[in-house]
Amino acid sequence: MSFPITIATRESRLALWQAEHVQALLRARGHAVALLGMTTRGDQILDRSLSKVGGKGLFVKELETALEEGRADIAVHSLKDVPMELPPGFALACVMAREDPRDAWVSSAHASLADLPPGAVVGTSSLRRAVLLRALRPDVRIEPLRGNLDTRLRKLDEGQYAGLVLAAAGLKRLGLAGRIRHVFDTDEMLPAAGQGALGIEIRADRADLAQALAPLADAATSLAVAAERAVSRALGGSCSMPLAAHATLQAGRLRLRAAWGEPEGQAPLVTAEAAADVADEAAATALGEQVAAELRARGAH
């Protein structure tokens, strides 16, 4: 059964690409789909890091209000921006096939992080990326970087930074893969939980929407991100926590790796990994909780 659907979306170029991508898929299935563009608190506060002003949940709260008030039916999110615990009455109805989950090095003058001279300035506001960068290059300066993707690239081009670390998925989705000088292997820089995946949020009482969205879900990605998000949830689920978690599924076996670091880089990285045969999200979540327990046993908090 087809019916009208309104998508709540942030108005950045990447967020609109994501919403329009879902819009096209739903239209192909016979639904009439409109977009409701919105500006969130996360888009408005650009002079402080997210970890200091409420976390990545600032990107989704206004969209959830639109769902709650009936002005929109679904919200499309970068899954790494979605809090680990949704408010009562909301559900993550669909996790779509993942783009490249890795981090990318972007620079005008330097082909890789290794090519930077000591003291060079690298831009990122991700605590995860900061602790991983310090582990790779303790001699470079890491400076905050906020704003949408185009704003970040403009600041790089103006010479404010020697290089940036950005999600490869966003660059590829906007046709900016040519800006990538190097893609970090996951052994170099472990991604954030959910990185590269899109999640669709609905009100928990909208079974009709859950059914309509089911064909857009990707089973392998759903299992992987369930494990990744379980690690983050078990350790507090905050973007003020420098935590990485990445899972891959092969022949029914899920391998999950995670890393945690001190925000100021005063201690070595804590890492953990495990693998298990998984057939459902409950098993994937259990694997994530196992890895989180191992991180805690090794000093993560």
Mean pLDDT of the chain: 92
Model pTM score: 0.90
Q: Which domains does the chain have, with CATH numbers?
A: 1-96+197-217 (3.40.190.10), 103-183 (3.40.190.10), 218-294 (3.30.160.40)
Q: What is the rounded CA–CA span in Å between residue 221 and residue 231?
A: 16
CA–centroid distance for 149 within its chain: 14
Per-residue confidence (pLDDT) for residue 43, from 0 to 100: 52
SS3 139: coil
User: How do residues 137-194 score in pLDDT, each as one tens digit?
Assistant: 999 999 999 888 999 999 999 999 999 999 999 999 999 999 999 999 999 999 999 9
Quick: pLDDT tens for 184-230.
Answer: 999 999 999 999 999 999 999 999 999 999 999 999 999 999 999 99
* CA geometry: angle 35, 64, 151, nearest 5 deg: 65
Active-site position among 73, 81, 100, 103: 81
Strand stretches in 193-286, DSSP E: 198-203, 243-250, 253-260, 270-277
Angle at 173 between CA 35 and CA 54, to 5 degrees: 65
Catalytic residue flag (residue 100): no
